[in-house]
Structure 1
Protein backbone atom coordinates (compact mmCIF):
# COMPACT_ATOMS: atom_id res chain seq x y z
CA UNK A 1 0.00 0.00 0.00
CA UNK A 2 1.45 3.35 -0.96
CA UNK A 3 1.78 6.07 1.64
CA UNK A 4 -0.94 8.07 -0.13
CA UNK A 5 -3.36 5.11 -0.19
CA UNK A 6 -2.72 4.45 3.47
CA UNK A 7 -3.23 8.10 4.38
CA UNK A 8 -6.52 8.20 2.48
CA UNK A 9 -7.77 5.01 4.15
CA UNK A 10 -6.69 6.18 7.61
CA UNK A 11 -8.29 9.59 7.15
CA UNK A 12 -11.46 7.90 5.90
CA UNK A 13 -11.56 5.87 9.10
CA UNK A 14 -11.09 8.93 11.27
CA UNK A 15 -13.56 11.17 9.41
CA UNK A 16 -16.36 8.63 9.07
CA UNK A 17 -15.90 7.31 12.61
CA UNK A 18 -16.03 10.84 13.97
CA UNK A 19 -19.17 11.55 11.98
CA UNK A 20 -20.79 8.39 13.35
CA UNK A 21 -20.01 9.34 16.93
CA UNK A 22 -21.29 12.89 16.41
CA UNK A 23 -24.56 11.61 14.97
CA UNK A 24 -24.92 9.19 17.89
CA UNK A 25 -24.43 12.04 20.38
CA UNK A 26 -27.08 14.05 18.53
CA UNK A 27 -29.42 11.02 18.60
CA UNK A 28 -29.19 10.88 22.38
CA UNK A 29 -29.82 14.62 22.65
CA UNK A 30 -32.84 14.36 20.36
CA UNK A 31 -34.25 11.47 22.38
CA UNK A 32 -33.67 13.38 25.60
CA UNK A 33 -35.68 16.26 24.13
CA UNK A 34 -38.51 13.93 23.15
CA UNK A 35 -37.80 13.97 19.40
CA UNK A 36 -37.64 10.21 18.93
CA UNK A 37 -38.13 10.32 15.17
CA UNK A 38 -35.11 12.58 14.77
CA UNK A 39 -33.16 10.37 17.18
CA UNK A 40 -33.85 7.32 15.03
CA UNK A 41 -32.84 9.22 11.89
CA UNK A 42 -29.58 10.25 13.56
CA UNK A 43 -28.86 6.63 14.45
CA UNK A 44 -29.45 5.65 10.82
CA UNK A 45 -26.98 8.32 9.68
CA UNK A 46 -24.49 7.09 12.29
CA UNK A 47 -24.85 3.57 10.93
CA UNK A 48 -24.16 4.77 7.39
CA UNK A 49 -21.06 6.62 8.57
CA UNK A 50 -19.82 3.47 10.31
CA UNK A 51 -20.39 1.54 7.09
CA UNK A 52 -18.23 4.04 5.21
CA UNK A 53 -15.56 3.73 7.89
CA UNK A 54 -15.66 -0.04 7.54
CA UNK A 55 -15.10 0.35 3.80
CA UNK A 56 -11.90 2.26 4.55
CA UNK A 57 -10.81 -0.40 7.01
CA UNK A 58 -11.64 -3.20 4.56
CA UNK A 59 -9.50 -1.51 1.93
CA UNK A 60 -6.56 -1.56 4.32
CA UNK A 61 -7.18 -5.19 5.29
CA UNK A 62 -7.49 -6.27 1.67
CA UNK A 63 -4.20 -4.63 0.74
CA UNK A 64 -2.55 -6.26 3.75
CA UNK A 65 -3.90 -9.68 2.72
CA UNK A 66 -2.48 -9.11 -0.77
CA UNK A 67 0.96 -8.65 0.73
CA UNK A 68 1.02 -4.85 0.60
CA UNK A 69 2.14 -4.09 4.13
CA UNK A 70 0.59 -1.23 6.04
CA UNK A 71 3.05 0.97 7.87
CA UNK A 72 2.08 1.02 11.51
CA UNK A 73 2.32 4.51 12.92
CA UNK A 74 0.47 6.57 15.48
CA UNK A 75 -2.05 7.83 12.93
CA UNK A 76 -2.93 4.27 11.87
CA UNK A 77 -3.38 3.16 15.47
CA UNK A 78 -5.44 6.26 16.21
CA UNK A 79 -7.75 5.55 13.28
CA UNK A 80 -8.46 2.02 14.49
CA UNK A 81 -9.03 3.26 18.04
CA UNK A 82 -11.37 5.94 16.74
CA UNK A 83 -13.40 3.35 14.83
CA UNK A 84 -13.76 1.00 17.77
CA UNK A 85 -14.76 3.84 20.10
CA UNK A 86 -17.36 5.06 17.61
CA UNK A 87 -18.82 1.58 17.21
CA UNK A 88 -19.12 1.17 20.97
CA UNK A 89 -20.61 4.64 21.41
CA UNK A 90 -23.13 4.15 18.61
CA UNK A 91 -24.20 0.81 20.08
CA UNK A 92 -24.67 2.47 23.46
CA UNK A 93 -26.60 5.36 21.87
CA UNK A 94 -29.02 2.85 20.33
CA UNK A 95 -29.70 1.43 23.78
CA UNK A 96 -30.16 4.88 25.32
CA UNK A 97 -32.57 5.98 22.58
CA UNK A 98 -34.47 2.72 23.07
CA UNK A 99 -34.78 3.48 26.78
CA UNK A 100 -36.17 6.95 26.03
CA UNK A 101 -38.68 5.34 23.66
CA UNK A 102 -39.85 2.98 26.40
CA UNK A 103 -40.18 5.79 28.92
CA UNK A 104 -42.30 7.88 26.60
Structure 2
Protein backbone atom coordinates (compact mmCIF):
# COMPACT_ATOMS: atom_id res chain seq x y z
CA UNK A 1 0.00 0.00 0.00
CA UNK A 2 1.38 3.37 -0.97
CA UNK A 3 0.53 6.80 -2.30
CA UNK A 4 -3.02 8.04 -2.07
CA UNK A 5 -4.32 4.82 -0.55
CA UNK A 6 -1.84 5.00 2.32
CA UNK A 7 -2.64 8.64 3.02
CA UNK A 8 -6.38 7.87 3.01
CA UNK A 9 -5.91 5.10 5.55
CA UNK A 10 -3.79 7.41 7.71
CA UNK A 11 -6.56 10.02 7.66
CA UNK A 12 -9.20 7.39 8.48
CA UNK A 13 -7.11 5.96 11.31
CA UNK A 14 -6.24 9.32 12.90
CA UNK A 15 -9.81 10.61 12.53
CA UNK A 16 -11.19 7.44 14.11
CA UNK A 17 -8.79 7.68 17.02
CA UNK A 18 -9.71 11.34 17.54
CA UNK A 19 -13.42 10.54 17.42
CA UNK A 20 -12.93 7.78 20.00
CA UNK A 21 -11.18 10.24 22.32
CA UNK A 22 -13.99 12.76 21.92
CA UNK A 23 -16.67 10.15 22.64
CA UNK A 24 -14.69 8.94 25.65
CA UNK A 25 -14.51 12.52 26.88
CA UNK A 26 -18.29 12.79 26.74
CA UNK A 27 -18.73 9.62 28.79
CA UNK A 28 -16.05 10.71 31.24
CA UNK A 29 -17.67 14.12 31.72
CA UNK A 30 -21.05 12.51 32.21
CA UNK A 31 -19.52 10.60 35.11
CA UNK A 32 -18.35 13.94 36.57
CA UNK A 33 -14.63 13.71 35.81
CA UNK A 34 -14.23 16.98 33.90
CA UNK A 35 -10.47 17.25 34.22
CA UNK A 36 -9.99 13.84 32.59
CA UNK A 37 -12.57 14.73 29.93
CA UNK A 38 -10.65 17.88 29.01
CA UNK A 39 -7.46 15.81 28.80
CA UNK A 40 -9.20 13.41 26.41
CA UNK A 41 -10.35 16.32 24.24
CA UNK A 42 -6.75 17.55 24.01
CA UNK A 43 -5.50 14.06 23.14
CA UNK A 44 -8.15 13.75 20.45
CA UNK A 45 -7.25 17.16 19.08
CA UNK A 46 -3.58 16.22 18.81
CA UNK A 47 -4.45 13.11 16.80
CA UNK A 48 -6.99 15.03 14.73
CA UNK A 49 -4.24 17.47 13.72
CA UNK A 50 -2.29 14.57 12.22
CA UNK A 51 -5.31 13.62 10.10
CA UNK A 52 -5.82 17.23 9.11
CA UNK A 53 -2.17 17.63 8.15
CA UNK A 54 -2.28 14.54 5.93
CA UNK A 55 -5.39 15.92 4.24
CA UNK A 56 -3.89 19.40 3.85
CA UNK A 57 -0.78 17.88 2.27
CA UNK A 58 -2.99 16.16 -0.31
CA UNK A 59 -4.74 19.42 -1.11
CA UNK A 60 -1.41 21.22 -1.54
CA UNK A 61 -0.13 18.41 -3.73
CA UNK A 62 -3.18 18.64 -5.97
CA UNK A 63 -3.04 22.44 -6.10
CA UNK A 64 0.60 22.24 -7.20
CA UNK A 65 -0.34 19.81 -9.97
CA UNK A 66 1.76 17.05 -8.40
CA UNK A 67 -1.05 14.60 -7.71
CA UNK A 68 -0.80 11.69 -10.11
CA UNK A 69 -3.53 9.54 -8.53
CA UNK A 70 -7.20 10.09 -9.28
CA UNK A 71 -9.30 10.92 -6.23
CA UNK A 72 -11.51 7.94 -5.42
CA UNK A 73 -14.16 6.61 -3.09
CA UNK A 74 -11.55 5.85 -0.41
CA UNK A 75 -10.54 9.53 -0.33
CA UNK A 76 -14.18 10.57 -0.05
CA UNK A 77 -14.58 8.17 2.87
CA UNK A 78 -11.44 9.55 4.53
CA UNK A 79 -12.73 13.10 4.18
CA UNK A 80 -16.10 12.03 5.59
CA UNK A 81 -14.38 10.50 8.63
CA UNK A 82 -12.34 13.67 9.08
CA UNK A 83 -15.46 15.84 9.06
CA UNK A 84 -17.29 13.45 11.40
CA UNK A 85 -14.45 13.64 13.90
CA UNK A 86 -14.48 17.43 13.76
CA UNK A 87 -18.24 17.50 14.34
CA UNK A 88 -17.85 15.04 17.20
CA UNK A 89 -15.33 17.35 18.87
CA UNK A 90 -17.64 20.34 18.62
CA UNK A 91 -20.48 18.37 20.17
CA UNK A 92 -18.22 16.86 22.86
CA UNK A 93 -17.02 20.28 23.98
CA UNK A 94 -20.61 21.53 24.16
CA UNK A 95 -21.79 18.48 26.08
CA UNK A 96 -18.94 18.72 28.57
CA UNK A 97 -19.84 22.35 29.20
CA UNK A 98 -23.49 21.34 29.64
CA UNK A 99 -22.59 18.60 32.13
CA UNK A 100 -20.51 21.10 34.10
CA UNK A 101 -23.39 23.56 34.23
CA UNK A 102 -25.82 20.86 35.32
CA UNK A 103 -23.44 19.82 38.11
CA UNK A 104 -23.21 23.41 39.34
CA UNK A 105 -26.99 23.80 39.32
CA UNK A 106 -27.50 20.49 41.11
CA UNK A 107 -24.97 21.49 43.77
CA UNK A 108 -26.86 24.75 44.39
CA UNK A 109 -30.12 22.85 44.86
CA UNK A 110 -28.64 20.35 47.29
Fold similarity call, TM over 0.5:
yes
Q: Which runs of 5+ in 2 are unaligned?
A: 104-110
Map residues 25-44 of structure 1 onto 2, 5 A cutoff.
Answer: 25-44=23-42
Query: 1:6 maps to what in 2?
Result: 4
TM (normalized to structure 2)? Answer: 0.87
Q: Secondary structure at the match of 2:71?
A: coil
Aligned residues: 102
- TM normalised by structure 1 equals 0.91
Post-superposition offset of 1:68: 2.2
Q: Offset of 1:103 from its aligned partner?
A: 1.7
Where does residue 82 of structure 2 map in the other structure? 83
* 1:54-81 residue CA offsets vs partner (Å, 9 max, x unmatched): 1110110111011023412111110000
C-alpha separation in 2, matches of 1:30 and 1:102: 15
Stretches of structure 1 lacking an aligned partner (at least 5 in a row): none
